[in-house]
Structure 1
Amino acid sequence: MTIELKGMNTSHERAGSSFSGYPMLLVLLILLALVGWHFAEHFPEGPDGFSPGLFVTLIGLEAFAFLFVLCGFFMIQPNQAAVLTLFGAYKGTERKEGLRWVWPWIMRAKISVRAHNVHSERVKINELRGNPIEIACNVVWRVADTAQASFDVDDYKQFVNIQIEAGLRTVGSRHPYDDLDGEEVTLRGSGEQVNRELLEELNDRMKAAGIIVDEAGLTHLAYAPEIASAMLRRQQAEAVIAARAKLVIGAVGMVEDALTKLSQDGIVDLDNERRATMVSNLMVVLCGEREAQPVVNAGTLYQ
């Protein structure tokens, strides 16, 4: 499923322009020292005869410069980025770690590019055969494009949570819960394939927000409580039928091999009636749930 954003321009991340904060920190300390020196030497009228007006003007300029430099500082942690905007226009993303500095009128919005781990709530859906089931998943995601995450969706974290639930519903409804014949892809028996489909589905849905999903997998899968007991009995019945079918097929093969071996080795020559009797006895022995009780026949089948 591809999400097409019609009528809206897609943002793309580009490198932002900022300066190292350490030289500007030195400038800040120098301005602070100047303010302190002027207070010590010329407050309110120093030996050199500074007028109060000139003193206030000088201190005001130095204080303004101090605040100007101070307002441009920001810090970026490892695996963090800062989206820079100027009067609403995107000016790039700064990913360099440490103390940075930009012009004070440039706005900085920090965004984490670390891996996020989300465990979804249990969602009740109908699987392929219409049976209600409960399903949940665990998703590891991260922001790959900070511009898309900031400007193309309103709240990218809420967007991720909603798309996880939607993707989980979509993938869960594609397959049956179980299939004893092993001919279909099932939610319970084909975990790797279902997880791969979920990963592809979520990546396709979240690329509109610049999000990449690294891992996705089911963590909970069960029939809904209202049908759980009935489906358990059904599973048990299907398992018994499948087991008996395999038992009968195996028994037929063993009987066939036994009769063939007896005939080839010339141990006994059986007519059709004796052969049918032996087949019946062997099938009872091989397919019966209880141990066979031997019967000694003192006569023949015809007496």
Structure 2
Amino acid sequence: MKEEKSVNPFNGYLTVVILILSVLVLAYGIILQNVGLIIVCGLVFVICAKGLIIVSPNSSKVLLLFGKYRGSVKQNGLFWINPLYSRFTYSLRARNFESEKIKVNDKMGNPILISVILVWRVKDTFKVAFEVDNYSAFIKIQTDSAVRKLAGSFPYDHFEDETATVTLSTNFDDVNRALEQELAERLEIAGIEVIESRIAYLAYAPEIAHSMLRRQQASAVVAARHKIVEGAVGMVESALKMLSDKDIITFDEDRKATMVSNLMVVLCGDSETKPVINTGTLNQ
């Protein structure tokens, strides 16, 4: 048998009534000193009391009879079962697991630190009880293994692999979906249902974090410079065209080059430009 089987136990409240009646009859037998009645009532009391179980909400009882699996009780309330059954309690509540930050290599070989949060619960009590030795340790080890595989499947960002469609630092929905699918496949053998999984922490490893930050800053500066130059060229072109259309001034090629150079310096410079006012002729 490789799957969970549900059992319907007897009503425990009816058993409680029988318990009370057996106690009353036992007391009556003691008064009468009727040994047979005392023995029978004593056996009934022990059997009824031994078979009572309480199943709380979102919990279950796994029942064994001399090592053989007989079923699981997931109903809530007071019940009576065979007193010879061995019982093991398993919680069906949703639980969180946050993995430790582990150092792994991304697809491009860069060392990164990553941790994940896993929301899970027991789905199949038979598999939890008998397919794995310690399901809590199994979840921890399989989660770490899934995180290592996930990190090795995607680059950290687009700087190393510009053709990548999914990266760890940008496509969170796709990455979390891949992680959830990987964990669901790994934990299915243990009867664990993956409710949600997501990356909780992601960063470059300390030994390369500073270099990667400088690379990102340099890329941002280059992109900003490109945008500034593009805008400055447009402004210079517009200025020259407007001056020419309105016949304000006519430039030869040398003066046009000089004006373009000056305007580009003013528009693209990092520091504030300090103009020099010419109070003489244009040739001075």
Same fold (TM over 0.5): yes
| Residue among 295, 298, 303 paired with 2:276 | 295
Residue 100 of structure 1, CA deviation = 1.2
Indicate the residue corresponding to 2:24 in structure 1.
Answer: 33
Which residue identity is paired with 1:98?
G
Within-5 A mapping of 1:143-162: 143-162=122-141
Matches within 5 A, 1:1-303: 11-42=2-33, 55=35, 57-179=36-158, 184=164, 185-297=166-278, 298-300=280-282
State the one-letter code of the partner of 1:210: G
Q: Secondary structure at the match of 1:108?
A: strand
Q: What CA deviation, in whole Å up to 9, does each residue of 1:255-303 have, x standing for no partner?
A: 33444444455544444333332322222112111112223344446x7
- Superposed CA deviations along residues 106-140 of structure 1, whole A, max 9, x for unmatched, are 33222111001111111110112212111111111
Note the residue ranges of structure 1 that are not aligned, 5 or more in a row. Answer: 1-8, 43-49
Secondary structure, aligned partner of 2:146? helix
CA positional deviation for 1:235: 3.0
Q: Is the alpha carbon distance of 1:266 and 1:25 closer, same or farther for their aligned partners in structure 2, counting shifts above 3 Å?
A: farther
Query: Bigger shift: 269-278 or 121-130?
Result: 269-278
Aligned residue for 2:169, secondary structure, equals: coil
Shift of the 193–251 alpha-carbon distance from structure 1 to 2, 3 Å rule, reads farther
Cα RMSD (Å): 2.5
CA distance in 1, matches of 2:29, 2:47: 19
State TM-score, norm by structure 2. 0.87
Which sits farther off after the overlay, 235-244 or 137-146? 235-244
CA deviation after TM superposition for structure 1 residue 24, in Å: 0.8
Q: What do the CA deviations read for 1:194-225 (whole angstroms, capped 9, x no partner)? A: 22222222122212222121122222222222
Between 1:235-244 and 1:98-107, the stretch displaced more is 235-244
The Cα of 1:175 is off from its aligned counterpart by 2.4
Residue by residue over 1:157-191, the C-alpha shift from the partner in whole angstroms, topping out at 9 and shown as x without a partner, is: 22111111111111122223233597643322333
Counterpart in the other structure of 1:6 = none
| Aligned amino acid, residue 222 of structure 1 | A
Matched with 1:47 is: none
**Cα distance 1:152–1:253, how it changes in 2: closer, same or farther (>3 A)?**
farther
SS in 2 for 1:178: coil
- C-alpha separation in 2, matches of 1:20 and 1:245: 78
**Contact in 2 for aligned 1:16/1:84 (Cα 8 Å):** no
User: Structure 1 pair 261/165, CA: closer, same or farther in 2 (3 Å)?
Assistant: farther
Instruction: Tell me which amino acid in the other structure corresponds to 1:114.
Output: R
Identity of aligned residues (%): 43
Q: Which amino acid aligns with 1:290?
A: S
**1: distance between equivalents of 2:218 and 2:28?**
92
Task: Give the direction of change, closer, same or farther, for the CA distance of 1:37–1:261 in structure 2 (3 Å limit).
Answer: farther
Question: Which of 65-74 and 200-209 deviates more?
Answer: 200-209
Shift of the 92–258 alpha-carbon distance from structure 1 to 2, 3 Å rule, reads: farther
In 2 relative to 1, CA 103–260 (structure 1 residues): closer, same or farther, beyond 3 Å?
Answer: farther
Compared with structure 1, are the counterparts of its residues 87 and 292 closer, same or farther at alpha carbon in structure 2 (3 Å cutoff)? same
Structure 1 residue runs of 4+, over 6 Å off? none
Separation (CA, whole Å) in 2 of partners of 1:105 and 1:87? 8
